[in-house]
Amino acid sequence: MTDVQPDPRDPRPLIGEPLALDLVNTRWAGTPVNDLLTGVEGYAVWLSSAGLSGRCAADEAGLAAIRRARDAIRSAAQDARELGELGSPARDGLDAVLAHGRIRRTAAPGGAEDRIEVDRPEWLAPWLAADGFLGLLGQGAHRIKQCAHEACILHFFDASQNGRRRWCRMAVCGNRAKAARHYVKARG
């Protein structure tokens, strides 16, 4: 998603993770928890930031479908983090989203061409996110992480060479944790 420019209306603190985790990150810390997908307007902002606004309509049907996908991916991300694999309920949740589409391979002038087909238009963005999550799993379930800061609920894909990234953003969550440790040492 590095070639997509985030929508300037997007209020999320972390934008630009792979599509599946970017979708999970439509919920972020706050009291109450912030949620970009409370209405069609927020869904339109997410579609724009994800580079999908030209392919997907922001409507009530799409909003309901994307929320189902977000829940399924969040559950699968938790399993990946905690178990290193997906449990049956997480697999079932992803499969329920993936059942709405498929990749159809056809012959094109330059070779093979893959086309994504969905049973209803509102399932394109959810299907793409669920399929993208499977791609992340293929690169290593251990690299799908939640920020280590106790107040943060954001997820990221650890693409670092050694796989030791801990924070969604070092400049924010990492620095907060370091400052808290320093404060405890200074008092102690």
User: Whose structure tokens read 């993208």?
Assistant: 132
Whole-number mean pLDDT of the chain?
A: 92
pLDDT digits (tens, 9 = 90+) for 115-162: 999 999 999 999 999 999 999 999 999 999 999 998 899 999 999 999
CA distance 158 to 151: 19
pLDDT digits (tens, 9 = 90+) for 102-128: 999 999 999 999 999 999 999 999 999
171 inside domain: no
Range of the domain at 70: 19-144
163 inside domain: no
The confidence score (pLDDT) of residue 187 equals 72
Mean pLDDT of all residues in 56-77: 98
Residue 169: CB atoms within 10 Å = 16
Nearest of 67, 47, 46 to residue 55 by alpha carbon: 47
150 inside domain: no
Return the CATH number at 117: 1.10.3300.10
The confidence score (pLDDT) of residue 131 equals 98
Query: Residues near 90 by Cβ (< 8 Å), separated by ≥ 6?
Result: 72, 75, 76, 78, 79
110 inside domain: yes
CA distance 31 to 54: 33
* Domain count of the fold of the chain: 1
Mean pLDDT of all residues in 74-92: 96
173 inside domain: no
- pTM for the structure as a whole: 0.89
